Homo-oligomer: A and B are copies of this chain.
Amino acid sequence: MTYCVGILLDDGLVLAADSRTNAGVDQIALTRKLTFFDRDGDRMIGLMSSGNLATTQAVVTQLQQDCDGCDGPTMMSVKTLFDAAQLVGDTLRKVLARDASYVQPYGDPNASFILGGQIAGETHRLFEIYAAGNFVEASDDTPFLQIGETKYGKPILVRMIRHDTNLVDACKCAVLSMDATIRSNLSVAPPIDLLCYRKDSLMPETYRRIEADDDYLISLREGYSAGLGELFRDLPQPPWLAP
A-side interface residues toward B, CB under 8 Å?
A: 151-152, 154-155, 158-160, 167-169, 171-173, 175-176, 180, 183-184, 196, 205-206, 208, 216, 219-220, 223-225, 227-229, 231-232, 234-243
Contacts and interface: CB of A to CB of B under 8 A. Distances in A.
A183 B158 contact: yes
B208 A235 contact: no
A228 B225 CA distance: 11
B243 A173 contact: no
B208 A236 contact: no
7 contacts: A151-B152, A171-B238, A172-B232, A175-B238, A196-B241, A216-B239, A227-B234
Nearest to A149: B151
A234 to B, nearest CB: 7
A32 to B, nearest CB: 19
Interface centre among A158, A208, A224, A238 (most CB of B within 10 A): A238
Contact of A158 (B155, B184, B216, B224): B184
A36 to B, nearest CB: 18
A234 B183 CA distance: 22
Given A184-B155, A184-B158, A243-B168, A235 B223 contact: yes
| Chain copies in complex | 2
A159 B196 CA distance: 29
Nearest to A151: B151
A219 B236 CA distance: 8
Contacts of A234: 223, 227
A185 to B, nearest CB: 8
A208 B240 CA distance: 8
Nearest to A231: B227
Nearest to A173: B232
Contact of A216 (B151, B208, B236, B242): B236
Contacts of A219: 236
A99 to B, nearest CB: 29
Given A171-B241, A216-B238, 15 more contacts: A155-B155, A158-B183, A159-B225, A159-B228, A160-B228, A160-B229, A171-B238, A172-B232, A172-B235, A176-B235, A206-B240, A208-B238, A220-B236, A224-B235, A231-B231
